[in-house]
Amino acid sequence: MYYFGVPGWILLLSLGVVSLGFFSYQVQKAIRLVLVGGSDPRTDAWLSRIIEVMTGWLGQKRVLEDKVAGGLHVLMFWGFLMLSSDMFDLATANWFSGVLLPDLVVGPWNGMVELGYTSALIGCVAALIRRVIFTPEKLKGKSQLEGNFILFLIFTITTTSFIIESSENPSRFWEPLGYAVSLMGLSELHVIISYWLHMVAICSFLILIPLSKHMHLVMALPNVLFFDRTPMAKMRPLSVNEMGLAVPLEDLDIDTFGVSSYDQYTWRQLIDGWACTSCARCQDVCPAYESGKPLNPMQIVHDVRSYANEHAPILLAGEAPDETMMQRLTADAVWACTTCHACVDACPLYIEHVPKLTDLRRNAMMETMDYPDQLNVAMSNLESGSNPYGFGAHERGNWAEGLDIKIGQPAEYIYFVGCAASFDERNQRVARATISLLKEAGLDVGILGMQEGCSGDPARRAGNEYLFQMLAESNVATFQELGVKRIVASCPHCFHTLGKEYPDYGADKLEVLHHSQILAKLQEEGRLPIIEEREDSVTFHDPCYLGRIGGEVDAPRSVIGGVDVEPERHGNDSFCCGAGGAQMWMEEDADKRVNVIRAKELSETGADTVAIGCPFCSVMVKDGLDAIGCEMDVKDLAEILWEKIIEGEVEKNPSGFEPRMVASYPHMPGNRRESLPRR
């Protein structure tokens, strides 16, 4: 057929060459910008990675966690997977279906294609209605032109497909919608117009993909395939040897620390920028963003991509732009992160937001020396006394006076007390309760006393990796000297750092348990009683580094005999207290406090007591409740269990458990605030 004297196939070929050429150019440009980044070995465990692709990319498991928006996206995603081959068939004048495919397969293939078009049509119409009529709060006030136009293109592609199909003797069985349209008696002109609208919409879509958030259609697959298989929130050493272990400080020989320029990010960190769908799930769960701070994890990812595109000629020439990554992402945003990893956990495409920020912190802390002044006190105290509070190491075991416990001696279990429980009077009661429970159960347990140093978590999350490694190497040497095999920690940050990060520094055979885990196990074995009745109602605040990051949500609830009422956000979806990421040692604006947001959620449960499993959460939640005038008690799970024992309020279990006092253990006072200043 001719159009104004030009054969139709020439017009179609020209349209295809232009759109495919533009698409290919933009995609290869993006790939080159990604490969500017440094190396990142992500080629291990191919079976695990393929399984994740099948469930995470093809199965859309994370996308479907949002039942509404996720469901609509999946309809369009699976629809396009099914209909994609039809686009090739149309562009080749039905050569694919008429020549290449065996006759036996044509019918089922047509059925799959029509199902794909139908699925995509339902998804895009529902998405348009949701955007235009039932606009989600996070989309209000923002431009929706791009998203709505893409949905309009999908609508055009899908609806015209049925008209085109109706002219090709559709099967009543395999192509019921095409067959139904064929009964409408549409003219050949309708079919021709629909064909060109169909092809123009497809070509327009190809042009828009690399220029919009829909570039995730290209980059999502490799992003999921090369996901981070290491434990969540596990940070990498400054340098590793051929065995994958951290290079000791005495052998360390590197010129730069952290990230300052674009090319210092790894290629896997950079690909995130093109994989983002702008779904805003990371934004929705970010405590810094919700509290009004200038950090939006979605914007961080967008900024990486926009930086690359704006400086593309310079970057591709192997040169460095004058603008640093800290300048683009902004220091206020970088230092607002609590490292709770809610953004990483929520992302359906496995984007890694937090490492982009902590790598910038490393550079600011160890190279440019441009970091918040408030951190100077904590870092100085860590260097001089191995704790951020500034107390002498000789005072580290004073809290255990009168408990008749091994100090600095080999034991089956070493209770790693942590800085808060060693020096904060409020949290010292948690340490005494924990030790008393472990001894009550008959365990051989001891503490390191003045030989214990800070795990290094505050230094590492703040970016002072050198100081962290110094503390880690010192602690590991102590563990090896005393033959420590099992550690119990009541601080989730110590639990994570010792258990997940210390193996890089030689402690690969160390078993680390959170105190909730071993207490729950002792209850199961009948060595500690199970709480069956309580006079007051209890809710539980899941610490980020225990629940979401540590993967433990059941043990703490088991220890306290279950929870009467859960806060709206709990378990793996719990909301941060605001202390992580070294925020405990930095100032917050009075009207932008994360802990106040969490305190309001906890107060809305109406419970009498908030159970806690983290010393920092204990301080932050109590401060938040005080700020809103709520008189809820805040108690660690170990305190709750030990109080029941010493008060004789726990019923005897079938084995005839009899509670007994540990020498010199004082009766638990009320929840009167007796802690050190937070900062």
pLDDT digits (tens, 9 = 90+) for 436-461: 999 999 999 999 999 999 999 999 99
Task: Tell me which residue of 320, 596, 339, 540 sits closest to 457, measured CA to CA.
Answer: 339
The C-alpha angle 242, 245, 246, rounded to 5 degrees, equals 110
pLDDT surpassing 80 at residue 668: no
**Per-residue model confidence (pLDDT) at position 162:** 96
SS3 353: coil
- Answer for the pair 437, 415: CB distance below 8 angstroms, yes or no: no
Q: Is the pLDDT of residue 511 over 90?
A: yes
Q: Dump the DSSP string for 10-58.
A: HHHHHHHHHHHHHHHHHHHHHHHHHTTSB-----S-HHHHHHHIIIIII
Q: Which stretch of DSSP H or E encloses residue 659? A: none
Tokens of 650: 């726990």
Q: What is the amino acid identity at position 433?
A: A
Residue 61 corresponds to which tokens in the numbers above? 């498991």
Side chain identity, residue 291? S
Nearest to 358 by CA among 312, 274, 295: 295
φ and ψ at 186, to 5 degrees?
A: -70, 145
Query: What is the C-alpha to C-alpha distance for residues 482 and 207, in angstroms, rounded to an integer?
Result: 64
Task: List, as own/partner pairs, every contact residues 661-665 make where C-beta atoms lie below 8 angstroms and the sequence separation is at least 24, other chains included.
Answer: 662/403, 662/404, 662/435, 662/436, 662/439, 662/440, 663/402, 663/403, 663/404, 664/401, 664/402, 664/403, 664/404, 665/402, 665/403, 665/432, 665/436
Say yes or no to pLDDT of 473 above 50. Answer: yes
Q: Which helix (H) or strand (E) holds 407?
A: strand 406-407
C-alpha distance from residue 201 to each of 4, 148, 275, 658 (Å): 21, 14, 23, 77
Taking the C-alpha atoms of residue 236 and residue 647, their distance in angstroms, rounded to an integer, is 46
With 50 as the cut, is the pLDDT of residue 600 above it?
A: yes
- The confidence score (pLDDT) of residue 667 equals 34
Whether residue 654 has pLDDT greater than 80: no
Compute the distance between CA of residue 364 and CA of residue 86 in angstroms, rounded to an integer.
52
> How many CA within 13 A on the CB side of residue 556?
28
Instruction: Report whether 435 contacts 445 (CB < 8 A).
Output: yes
- Domain residue spans of the chain: 40-217, 249-368, 377-646
For position 36, what pLDDT does the model report? 97
DSSP letters for 158-213: HHHHHHHHHTS---TTT-HHHHHHHTT---HHHHHHHHHHHHHHHHHHHHHGGGSG
Task: Count CB neighbours of 152 within 10 A.
Answer: 14
Q: How far, in Å, CA of 1 to CA of 338, rounded?
A: 64
List the strands of the sheet with 609-612, edge to edge: 538-540, 609-612, 633-636
For the chain, the C-alpha Rg in angstroms (whole number) is 30
DSSP 233-250: TPPPPS-B-TTSPBPPGG
Q: Please name the CATH architecture into which domain 249-368 falls.
A: Orthogonal Bundle (1.10)
* Mean pLDDT for the stretch of residues 574-580: 97
Q: Where are the alpha helices (DSSP H) in 611-676?
A: 615-627, 637-646
Task: Give the phi and the psi of residue 7 in degrees, each rounded to 5.
Answer: -60, 140
Return the sign of the alpha-carbon dihedral for residues 487, 488, 491, 492. Answer: positive
- Residue 608 CA to residue 606 CA, distance in Å, equals 7
pLDDT reported for residue 90: 82
Say yes or no: domain 40-217 is CATH 1.20.950. Answer: yes
CB atoms within 10 A of CB 248: 13
The Cα–Cα gap between 218 and 209 comes to: 9
Q: Which two tokens stand for residue 140?
A: 């209000």
The amino acid present at 7, given as its one-letter code, is P
Write the pLDDT tens digit of every residue in 228-269. Answer: 999 999 999 999 999 989 999 999 999 899 999 999 999 999
Which pLDDT does position 134 carry in this prediction? 82
For the chain, give the mean pLDDT.
92
Q: Would you give the DSSP letter of residue 409?
A: S
Residues linked to residue 511 through DSSP beta bridges, in sequence order: 486
- Find residue 486's DSSP bridge partners: 511
- Kindly state the average pLDDT of the residues 46-54: 96
Distance CA 126, CA 461 (A): 43
In whole angstroms, how far apart are CA 569 and each of 139, 166, 541, 575?
22, 51, 9, 6
CB-hemisphere CA count at 13 Å for 191?
A: 15
- Residues 536-553: what's their mean pLDDT? 97
What is the Cα–Cα distance from 486 to 491, expressed in whole angstroms?
15
Fold agreement between 40-217 and 249-368: no
Tens-place pLDDT, residues 78-89 = 999 999 999 888
Residue 410 has pLDDT above 60, yes or no: yes
Q: Which two tokens stand for residue 548?
A: 């979401």
**11 in Cβ contact with 3 (< 8 Å):** yes
Query: Which residues is 514 bridged to in the sheet?
Result: 489
Helix or strand holding residue 514 (H, E)? strand 511-514
Rounded to the nearest 5 degrees, what angle is found at the Cα of 214, between the Cα atoms of 212 and 217? Answer: 145
Given pLDDT bands bounded at 50, 70 and 90, which one contains residue 658? low
Residue 339 pLDDT greater than 70, yes or no: yes
Question: Strands 2-3 and 6-7, how do they pair?
Answer: antiparallel
Q: Is 70 exceeded by the pLDDT of residue 664?
A: no
Question: CB 673: neighbour CB atoms within 10 A?
Answer: 11
The pTM of the full predicted model, rounded to 2 decimals, is: 0.90
* Per-residue pLDDT tens digits for 415-442: 999 999 999 999 999 999 999 999 999 9
The residue whose two tokens read 């990498």 is: 236
CA terminus-to-terminus distance, the chain? 78
The answer to whether the Cα torsion of 503, 506, 511, 516 is positive or negative is negative
Q: DSSP string spanning 469-492?
A: HHHHHHHHHHHHHHT--EEEESSH
CA-nearest of 567, 557, 511, 509 to 534 is: 557
Q: What pLDDT is recorded for position 666? A: 38
Q: Within 10 Å of residue 75's Cβ, how many Cβ atoms?
A: 21
Q: pLDDT tens-digit profile of 122-138?
A: 999 999 998 888 888 77
